[in-house]
Structure formats: structure tokens, C-alpha cells
Amino acid sequence: MAQLHKNFTDHQVKELICRYLRKEIERNYIEEILRIGKTRFFALVKKYRKDPDSFSIEYKRKDATRKISKDIEDNIMKELVIEKKLVEDPEVPLRSYNYSYIADRLLYNYDQRVSTPTIIDRAKKGGFYLKKSKRKAHDREVLTNYIGELIQHDSSHHRWSVILHQH
């Protein structure tokens, strides 16, 4: 759907509708000019007929966008503090952290939906963000003596990086 208020003024749209009502311009031409469909066009005509003097295509949002409540903000920080202990543990070698896990925890524990980019933003602002390390280019050195020979390259032991939290 076209955003009329960004592309046209109230006066321009009003004039087109008036010309349509006076049968000077056909509906399909106005729809093409405004880049709207038939349903949207007739909604505008209905709105104009209802009150021509105060007709406007401008609108104000009912709720502010891009805002989350204080309790959601607090729960994000609470979960980031818990996870920071894991991220900073020298026995758990992490190169990066999956912040969508915190989004899942917020949904499961608090029934709160938060986007992963929002969580990453709060992690950066709060000093909890784990930067992704630059990886070295993989060398292609052949370490086998025969075609099809299998060698186990890494047999190190690591602690699992999953901690279950009880709330």
C-alpha cells in the first residue's frame, strides 16, 4: 500500500477526489496516480464524503514505535547478567554468542517477545556483548598419507556452554 501522506498533500488528494466525483477523471487514472488499489480509493472517497472540510491523509500513530516496557528491559538485563558469567568463564572457550537464546528465554520464562537485534543492542549498551573474533584463513595442507584416510584432528575436551536456569 502506498504511503499517501509521504507522496501527496491533503490538497492534492482532495482535488483528485473532487474531480472524480464531478466525473472529470476516471477512477483507474486516480488509482494509478496515487499508486493505490480500488479498496483504498473508495475508502478515501468515503472519508472525503463524510467530512470534506476536515479531510486529511495525515495520521498519527496511537502508540510510540520502537519502545519496550521497563519490565521487559529489566528482564533482558537480568538474563544478560546471568549469561555474562558463562561468556566470561575461561573454561568455556566461546568465539561468539547466540543472543536468540535470550529471546527464547524471555518468551519461555516471562512470556515476553523481544527481537534478537533489540537484545544485541542492549548487550552492546550494557557491556555484555561478545564480539565475533576474526578467524584465520584455513590452510589446505594435506595431512594424510593415503586417499580416503581418516584422521581425528581435534580431541580436546570442553565444558558445554548451556546452563539451565530455574526461575
Buried b (16+ CB within 10 A) or exposed e, 127-139: ebbeeeeeeeeee
Q: Which of 124, 74, 76, 132 is nearest to 101 (CA)?
A: 76
Residue 148, C-beta contacts closer than 8 angstroms, at least 6 positions apart: none
Residue 77, C-beta contacts closer than 8 angstroms, at least 6 positions apart: 122, 126
Q: Which of 154, 161, 153, 156 is nearest to 94 (CA)?
A: 161
Which letter does DSSP use for residue 23 in this model?
Answer: T
Q: What is the pLDDT along the chain (167 residues), one digit of tens a residue?
A: 457 878 889 999 999 999 999 999 999 999 999 999 999 999 999 999 999 998 988 877 776 667 888 999 999 999 999 888 877 777 777 777 888 999 999 999 999 999 999 999 999 988 888 777 777 776 666 666 777 776 666 555 555 555 555 55
Report how far residue 22's alpha carbon sits from residue 24's, in angstroms, rounded to the nearest whole number: 6
55 neighbors 14 (Cβ within 8 angstroms) = yes
